[in-house]
Structure 1
Amino acid sequence: MKTGNRDLIVLMKYDSVSEAAMEHEITLLNNLLYSVESIHSFCIANEVIDVNKYKIIKKPHLIQQAIRDKSHKPFVFVCNKN
Structure 2
Amino acid sequence: MNRINRDLLVLFNQELMSPQAIENEVELLHELLFTVERLDNLVTVHEVIDLDKYKVIQKDTMVRKVIRMQELKPFIFLNCKN
Per the TM superposition, whether the score is higher than 0.5 is yes
C-alpha spacing 1:16/1:40, structure 2 compared with 1 (3 Å): same
Q: Which runs of 5 or more residues in structure 2 are unaligned?
A: none
Q: Structure 1 vs Structure 2: percent identity of aligned residues? A: 36
- 1:1-26 deviation per Cα after TM superposition (whole angstroms, max 9, x unaligned): 222222232445x8232111111111
Deviation of 1:34 (Å): 0.7
Aligned length: 81
| Residue aligning to 2:16 | 16
Could you state the TM-score of these two structures normalised by the residue count of structure 1? 0.77
Could you state the TM-score of these two structures normalised by the residue count of structure 2? 0.77
> What secondary structure is seen at the aligned counterpart in 1 of 2:27?
helix
What CA RMSD, in Å, does the superposition of the two structures yield over aligned residues? 2.2
Matches within 5 A, 1:2-81: 2-3=2-3, 4-11=5-12, 15-69=15-69, 72-81=72-81
Query: Which range moves more in the overlay, 68-77 or 58-67?
Result: 68-77
